[in-house]
Structures are given as C-alpha cells and as structure tokens.
Amino acid sequence: MIARIDGETLCLILQRGDDGLAHLVWFGPKNNDVMARAPHFQRLPASPDVPVGPTLHPAHGHGFHNIAQVEAHCHKTRRLLRLKPPEFAASDRQITLNSHDESLGVRVVTTMTFRGDALAVTCCLHNDGETSIDVTRAASLLIPTPDWASRLVTWAGAWGREGHYTERDWSTGRIEQLGRAGRPGFDGGPTLSLLETGANVAHGRWLTAHLAWSGAFRLAAERATDGSGQLLAERLLAPGEIRLEPGASLVLPETVVALSYEGSNGVSRVYHDIIRSEGLRVKRLVHFNTWEARYFDVTEEKCISLAKQAAELGAERFVLDDGWFKGRHNDETSLGDWSADEAKFPNGLMPLIDAVHAEGMEFGLWLEPEMVSPDSDLCRDHPDWVLGWPEAELATGRNQLVLDLSLPAVREHLFLTIAALLDAYPISYVKWDCNRDLYPATSGGVASLGLQTEGLYELLDRLRIAYKVQIESCASGGGRIDAGIASRTDRFWASDTTDAIDRLRVQRAASFAMPTERLGCHIGPSPNPMTGREISMEFRVLAALFGHMGIEANPAHFNDNDKAILMRGLEISKAHRDWMGDGQLLNLSEPGDDPDLQMLVSAGGDQALLRIMRVNTPVRPLQPRIRLAGLDQQSHYELVELALRGDPMVWPLGNFMGRGLMHDGLVLDSARALTGRLIHLRKTE
C-alpha cells in the first residue's frame, strides 16, 4: 500500500514494506518523486532474523532498540504497551496512521498534512480499554532521518543573551534540545535542524522540526551504529503526569516540519508563511514602553509627560509597563493585585489614557497574570492557588510564585480580573509577561507541567474570543517563543536586552522561525543599562528597523540630534512596514559574521530593503562585494541609500540589473566599526 500527500512544492510518500511496517519512502520535491524507494535493511550477524529499522510508529519488542513512538504500561498489571504496525490511509490532503494494542485497548493516531510546504504532524493517544494506562513518554513527531544529514543546529543562551547559534557534527549517537523548566526557555525554544555538510543560509538541504508547545519539551536526533536515524519531537512528561483513564485521550502538541533545499532561508520562509497564515493581520504601531524610561518609578504626572514626549518622537502606542498596580514599588510585592496604585494613580488609569489618546496614541498595559507575589492580597487570600507541595516552603523566582493554572478557579479568577480591566479602560494592547520558570511544577505535589501550559492556552483563547485586544508574549524576554503561543498572541518580546549589538544576534535567532514583524525591537538608552555600551543612535535605529519598532528609553535623555535621527528612522519604518510585514527575510551572511547582512524583499518582488551592520573594524581595509538575493535576474533596480542624518535624506546609488546585483554585488560595507547602512531597491522594469 502507498499513501501520498502533496504540498506546494514538496510531497510525502509512505509505503507498507515487505515487513508489514509503514516506511517513509520520500519526503522531498514532488517533481522528483521517482526517487521514492522503500528502504532495505540488511540482515547482519548478531541481529534480528527479520531486519528492522526506523519506521512510522516504531515500537520496541521485535529487535528495534531506537526511539519508540510511545512508552506506556497498564497501571494495574504493569503490562507494557505493544503497538501493532499501523494501518494508514490517505485523502488528497491528509495521511492518517492508526496503531493498536488490542490487549490494553490503546490506539495511537497520527495525522500528517501539508499547509503550504509546512508538514504539520499531530498525534493522539486513546484509551479504549478498561484499565488505566500510565504514559511515560509519547512523541508528536518521530520520523526517519535522511542519510544526507551530517550536521545538527540548535540554539543556546541565557537571560539577555539569547540566540547563540550552535552547529556540530552528527554521525552516531543522540543529541537533544531540551526544555525542562515549564517554558521553552532561553536556549532557542523547541526547534532542531539537521543539515548536510556545507549547507548554509542560502544553499544546501535543511530539515527542521519545531514543536508548537509552550511547555517542557524534548527534540532529539539519534543515529544508530547501522547508520539509520530518527528525528523526535515531544512534550516532555514528568513521572506520574499522564494517566489515561478508560475513555480518556491525550492530544499531543503539533510539530511543524520544514524541508529546504535552499539553506536556512528556505526553512524560515516555510515557517514565516505558516505563522502569518494563522495569525491576525494587525497594524504594527510604533511602541513606546515605559520600562527603561522609568522602571518602577511611574506616576500619573510622570507618565503623562512621557506620553507627550513619545508622541512628539512619532510613537503610536504607549505601553505602561511594570509598577502601576497597588503597592508595586519593586519586584518584591503585589503581583496578583491588579488595580491601579492609588498613591501613583489617584484617579485610576483614565487620566493617563485620556492623555495618551489626546496625543493620538493607543494605550497598552503590562500584566503578569500567571504569577503572584507571596506579599500580595491574592496570595494571602488563596495560598492554595500556587504550584508546589502543600507542606513545603516554596522556592521563589524574582520574588514570586506561580499560580496553578490547572485549577478552574484560578483561570476563572484571572479571566474576570483581566476582563474587569479591559471593561473599565480602553486598553488595546496587553504585554503579557512570565518572569520565572516553573518550579516546583506540581499541583498539590502531583506533576503539572503540561496542565499548566494547557491552562494558559485556555485562558488566552477565552480572552481572544471575548476581547479584541492585541497580546504581546514576553517571558523574561525570549523565554517563550514558539508556534503554540504564536497562534494566541500578536508579538514577541525577543529579549530583555535592548543593546543593539546583542539584538542583532537575538533577532536573527528568533526570526529563524518567527516572522520579523512579530519581534518587538526597541531603541534603548545609551549607555545601555544591561551592557553599559555606548552605541550611536543611527546604529540603534537600524538594529530595530527590521522588526516591530519601538522606543524604550527616556526621551528627556536624548539630545536634539538623536531625536532627529530617531524620528527619521520611525518615518522610514512607517513608510515601509506594510509591505515588510509580508516580505521575505533573506540572510546574506552566516550567523556570527561581521558585517551582519539582511534583506527584506516584498511579496511581489517590486522592492526590497538591504541592511548592512558593521560591528567591528575589519582585518583588511579592502572590503569584498556584497551579493544580494531574492531579485529578478532580468529586471533593473534603482538603488538609493536611506540616510538617517544629513541632507539630503536619500542618496542615489545607481540603476543595476538583478543578475549583476546577485552574481557580482556591490561594495557597500562602510568598513567602520559600529556603523550601518540601509539601501532601498525598487524595480524599474
């Protein structure tokens, strides 16, 4: 039996082999499907009489010792789950795999479908039997890996230092990308890539798996000594977390797989397309955020003054960050008590909101609904609403505990509290923060990692249905960036660092899977409060320009020259943001290269922006030509430089053929440290 589904340019073909198992025989360009062949596993000495290797829904017990699709057992008898080879069926758009353990009454059902060229894989476990089943682990995605995969890419980092690219050899053994902390974390989230030797941003084959899940996860690539390999993506389960009672089901998070023959840029295009197709179309207003302007020192008078200054610079949305609510003077108190502090805002938030609206801006508000301070009315009234062991003194992080979102009463309280704010005030935007990991991730001492994430999703979904409010996802910066939360929010705060040099790396990493317009990129102070570096306003503006632009600094500390440069940068952003939100991001340089080179090409290909960011002084004074990408070879393009200072603001560079720009390139690197250039291309014929 053969089953096949097609994407835009790719296809997936499964075949039942002579061994009765379901084999992946082709995942690649559909115009090359003639290459589909069932794998042949050679019988070797000291090996099973019937050779086995990675298949779809692999199971232990017949000589296969790699990763199994599901590991579970009967709670009463301790009998292990034993899945039969899957039956599979295909429609025009979907393949379904269905495996049974008839003795235990368990079914495992996997569906595969294309959305564009993104392969979306989902898996569900059903207990149709009469006894409880304890699930140790269960994979959303488990597929054989291609034999060309010889390199592996993950990301690493920490708070304020997210996005460090890590590439290594992958020959034999297992390499994992793990998140155990209850949120994806600063190590790049639930994403893992396999690539062939020599592949880079623009060339070569990449296979990437991304788990649409905002909780604990595991992604792994494993290759056995016989050369066969597997790619795994799964929600990470804690001991005792999942017991399927008779009649119950476990729906696992979706995995989105991208295959590119055009380097990592091709992977990003697949993910950007699917994230955009499932998100809301919203106008990317220029933000002003109060945090690095005033931190906790916010009052009605001071914020109204900030609002006027922000509007003069060109901001379109004013976001009041932490410090506005009852008793909140530092991070040691008051989370959970979401009413305006009477000492800071004696008349509530309405006078500030009226002032913001009078300046022509929308109003946004910072909340951290998932957390609670021990020193808060909410925690004193409901000490049983926090994660942990009831008899233990609980560990705090940033002086706060985690509310137990598995409890319906907690979710109801949070919904009504947020709804009361949205009903009382014209709030168009919520910055939703999550400033600590989940520890201990137990509800009454029972493992609750997954239930916490599911409770968060339910709360966000309910709010999205009830209110037309945009939501920004922040988790101590970039601690929760994944497709699961992306479908419920409109923007990510990619990192708590606003240092423009660090942000180049952070934003590049985040934009691997997320469209750039989803990434909040703010112009911060100089010297930067986190790194102490002094960076010119031009460089800071250019670093923020390819994302969702904003300001996070006190305007009173800007001199007139910096204000003029900033205002010019915001004008450029507003002039191009509509097409940039649909544009294709192309990296022209490799991670860590200097200069950092990126292009955004419009969906119709009629225009583009090229950004050149030089951090260090080059070793050699003679700079190589910069070759562009994504252009029509036969068309002519007019190039102009968009200057942030001086007069005129537009400097013509000439008219060039697309072929020449891509094959030969231009000398555009300024070769001076901490400088950048922005080039606009317009197709003329």
Cite the active site residues. Answer: 433, 496
Q: Are strands 118-127 and 249-251 parallel, antiparallel or unpaired?
A: antiparallel
Residue 398 has φ and ψ, to the nearest 5°, of 50, 35
* CA 435 from centroid of its chain's CA atoms: 17
Q: 28: which 2 tokens? A: 């690649």
Q: Are 585 and 516 in contact (CB under 8 A)?
A: yes
Burial class of residue 524 (count of CB atoms within 10 Å of its CB; 0-12, 13-18, 19+): buried
Looking only at the bridges linking them, the beta strands covering 401-402 and 429-432 are unpaired
First to last CA, the chain: 51
**What does the alpha-carbon distance between residue 101 and residue 122 come to, in Å, rounded to a whole number?**
19
Contact (Cβ atoms closer than 8 angstroms) between residue 320 and residue 303 = yes
Short-list 106, 90, 86, 89, CA closest to 98: 86
Closest alpha carbon to 520 in 310, 288, 309: 288
589 touches 595 (CB < 8 A): yes
| 342 burial level (CB within 10 Å; 0-12, 13-18, 19+) | exposed
Distance CA 278, CA 431 (A): 20
Give how far Cα 249 sits from Cα of 106, 213, 459, Å. 10, 18, 21
What's the CA dihedral at 654, 655, 658, 662 to 10 degrees?
-10
d(CA 673, CA 193): 32
Residue 380, φ and ψ in degrees, nearest 5: -65, -35
How far is Cα 251 from Cα 124, in angstroms, rounded to an integer? 5
